[in-house]
Amino acid sequence: MGARFRVVVCLLAASLAVSAYAQTNAAGGLAIPATTSAINSAAPLSQRVVAYDMDAKYNAKAHSVDATETLTYHNLTGQPLDTFPFHLYLNAFQPTSTWVREGKREATRGQDFEKWDAKSYGAEEIKSLEVVGQGDFTNQLQFIHPDDENKDDRTVMQVHLPKPIPPDGYVQFKIKFHDQFPETMERTGWNRDFVLGGQWFPKVGVWWHGAWNCHQFHAYTEFFADFGVYDVKLTVPQYEVVGASGIEASSVNNPDGTKTVAYHGDDIHDFAWTASPHYLIYNDIFQSSVGPVKLRILMQPAHWNQAERHARIAKETMERFDRWYGPYPYKTLTIVDPEPGSEAMGMEYPTFITGGTSWFMPKGLLVPEGVVEHEFGHQYWYGMVATNEFEDAWMDEGINQYSEAKVMDSIFGPATSVLNLWGITAGERDQDRLFYEASADLDSMAQNGWQYFNYNSYGGITYGKTALILLSLENVIGEDTMRQAMHTYFLRYRFTHPTKEDFLKTIEEVSGKDLRWYFNQAVYGTQVLDYEVLKISSVPVDWYQENLKEKKGETEYVDNVWIHRKGEFVVPIDIETTFDNGSKVREHWDGKDRWVRYAYQKKAKIESVEVDPDHKIYFDRNNFNNSRTAEANSAPARKLANYWTCIGQFFAQVLAWWLV
């Protein structure tokens, strides 16, 4: 009884202390600004946890930044916080970091680091860190490595405060830091006189599911951060053309030949910027359902003739996202065409994306379209629906890949949405199948990003498999229902950090179906789907009669079809048998057994059998064995062999031409 009383007294005292501290904070004027720059809302769109106020000076010669950061953090965790972890992503570009070790192990993104190049060095050095009201903690910063045993990794640091920040309280960090950018790696850094400032400032982790979520920078993984307000002043040489997340608030020329450009962003969770003296600016407007969005496209001079291509695909994509999922509420979108040859292409940041093209880009090669579409899609699946990219990579990359297939197919046609050049075609679904097939059974989608077998598996599963699984699911629950589910998911979870189950349960709720059988295999499992038509036979009923003459349409046959489930993934499937009199029979098999046989007695022989005749399932690992014909059709193989022969002849002639 006495112990319980003591606990009650302690809780009461703590509660009074918390209340008093919160009032102190309020009295101290600490708060997250309630500004809004949304098209369609006078109130903040997100529950804001952070406010970053940064003043950064870029040294174009040294490719470095000296900056001050004032971070105001609002403790919405419901409990006192005395420890704060920060990402220092640029420290990944050091020879002993986890990012480099994993990159070297997997040779990811071309960074196999045969030899360490000084240009690859990047750093984010904390010059000082002060917690307002608690003092200077510069000497007490600790590097931590929550994901591995690499004590040399310096991509996450932690600060421990003697006075905890109470629930609903605020804390303000004042940080001075120095960045050294690497020659572009992992979509950040410099190349010639271009720079892309991505993941460049100390960024606090996310309190998620009762704990800090602040992973090290890994070779495959991306990012995770809380929503808030960003006010950033960038000082760069006056000759630079600058672009950044958010809205440009002002631009002032300084007497020392620099200029300071100020940006403001509301309800975003990251801030990236770029500068280059070469950019040409193409402005356009997209009229969304809630108002105009200003498109600012920074093009390389050599790609200027593709500016309209970039604008067109951006607008067509935005129109579809607006119609299908919900409005884009920000007033701007900056599209950056990065320096050729840099590793900065194809990346998403809030209201700011990088494309990817080259000076020779025939219209049938839909590379810039694919990249711009994909990166814009991330404004929804990452930017607004801010899933944990470290732990649930499929929820941003995969769902976005699915959206990409839908958008690109609707614009360019399903068979030609990637390539349509000189008679050679490829579609988004073909591309996703190739991603997936390369490593179909190594990892599940529900896997921490850095724990995939290798980079191919990460790419194949998070991008390819997720897209195929969702495209196939669309055929299980219906395209309209799937679109409605995506719409509901977006509206319900925008400006939050949803989990896997939030997404899956939304689909179940909207479709009104129990889809666990599907999700357990597709999302949480590594099962592979592979149906095959194992065998077909047509034997005359009167086979025993001597001198039997078979006549089409008159002779009766016993027709048998054997279907085999080779893989472990079970999905109900249709099977269509076509007979030589033109008739067709459809069966529906639950797929639970390893095989099934269908027998028919007809005055017709089997001509062909096809599993999944409507092509609803996109993730069958081998589509070639999904059908079988009674008679061989050698034309496709002869066509390819003919190509191969011609290539062989040409090669032989060139060899003989030069050597004899």
Partner 1 sequence: MNENMNLVSAGVAIARRNKRYVVWFYLLNLVFAHFGASAFSEAAHAVLDKSLYADKLLHGFNLGIFVELLARPEFGALSSATHPATMFAVVFFLASLVFMPGVLLGYASDHRLPRDEFFRACGRNVWRFVRLFIFFTVIAGIIGGILFGALNALVMAADKTSNERLPFFTQMAGTLIILLVLTVIRIWFDLAQTEVVLRDQPAVRKAIAAGFRKTRRNLGRLLGSYVVVAIVALAVLLGGIFLWHAIVPPSSVLGAFIIGQAMMLLLLATRFWQRATAVAFYVREMTEPVVEERIIPAFVAPVVS
| Site residues, partner 1 (CB under 8 A) | 192-194, 278, 300, 302, 339-341, 358-360, 415, 418-419, 422-427, 429-431, 433-434, 437-438, 608, 610, 622-629, 632-653, 655-660
| 104 versus 119: smaller Cβ distance to partner 1 | 119
The token duo for 434 is: 């190739």
Own/partner long-range contacts of 498-505 (Cβ < 8 Å, ≥24 apart): 498/385, 498/387, 498/395, 499/387, 499/388, 499/392, 500/392, 500/395, 500/446, 503/395, 503/399
Q: Do 141 and 88 touch, CB atoms closer than 8 A?
A: no
Q: Is the Cβ–Cβ distance between 598 and 536 less than 8 Å?
A: no
- Is the Cβ of residue 104 or residue 566 nearer to partner 1 in the bound state? 566
Nearer to partner 1, 110 or 423 (CB): 423
**Please, are residues 305 and 337 in contact by the beta-carbon 8 Å criterion?**
no
Query: Which is closer to partner 1, CB of 118 or CB of 632?
Result: 632
**What is the nearest approach in angstroms of partner 1 to the Cβ of residue 625?**
7
Residue closer to partner 1 (CB basis): 39 or 361: 361
Q: Least separation, in Å, of the C-beta of 432 and partner 1?
A: 9
Measured distance CA(351)–CA(334) in Å, rounded: 6
Q: Minimum distance between the CB of residue 280 and partner 1, rounded to whole angstroms?
A: 13
Least distance in angstroms from the C-beta of 623 to partner 1: 5
The length of the chain is: 660
Give 277 or 540: the residue with its C-beta nearer to partner 1: 277
- Within a 13 Å sphere around the CA of 607, how many CA atoms are in the beta-carbon half? 12
Handedness of CA 620, 621, 623, 628 (dihedral sign): negative
Dist. CA 137–CA 285, nearest whole Å: 47
**CB within 8 Å of 255: residues ≥ 6 apart:** none
CB of 245 to partner 1, least distance (A): 25
In single-letter form, the type of residue at position 464 comes to G
Q: Using CA of residue 185, residue 187, residue 188, residue 192, what is the dihedral sign? A: positive
CB closer to partner 1, 421 vs 491:
421
What DSSP assignment string belongs to 107-168?
TGGG---SS--GGG--EEEEEEEEETTTEE-GGG-EE--SSSS-TT--SEEEEEEEEEEPTT
Closer to partner 1 at the Cβ: 396 or 610?
610
Q: Name the residue nearer to partner 1 (CB basis): 27 or 656.
A: 656
DSSP strand pairing (228-237 vs 50-59)? parallel
DSSP string, 122-137: -EEEEEEEEETTTEE-
Q: Which residues pair with 140 in a beta bridge?
A: none
Distance of CA 397 to the CA centre of its chain: 2
* Least distance (Å) between residue 578 CB and partner 1: 9
Task: CB nearer to partner 1: give 229 or 297.
Answer: 297
Q: How far is the CB of 483 from partner 1 (least distance, A)?
A: 25
- Nearest distance from C-beta of residue 535 to partner 1, angstroms: 11
| Residue with Cβ nearer partner 1 (154 or 429) | 429
First to last CA, the chain: 104
Nearest distance from C-beta of residue 440 to partner 1, angstroms: 11
Q: How far is the CB of 596 from partner 1 (least distance, A)?
A: 19
How many other C-beta atoms lie within 10 A of the C-beta of residue 171?
A: 23
| Smallest distance, partner 1 to C-beta of residue 637, A | 4
Q: How far is the CB of 651 from partner 1 (least distance, A)?
A: 5
Half-sphere exposure of 573 (CA within 13 A, CB side): 28
* Of 517 and 644, CB closest to partner 1: 644
In this structure, the dihedral spanned by the alpha carbons of residues 622, 627, 629 and 634, taken in order and rounded to 10 degrees, is -30
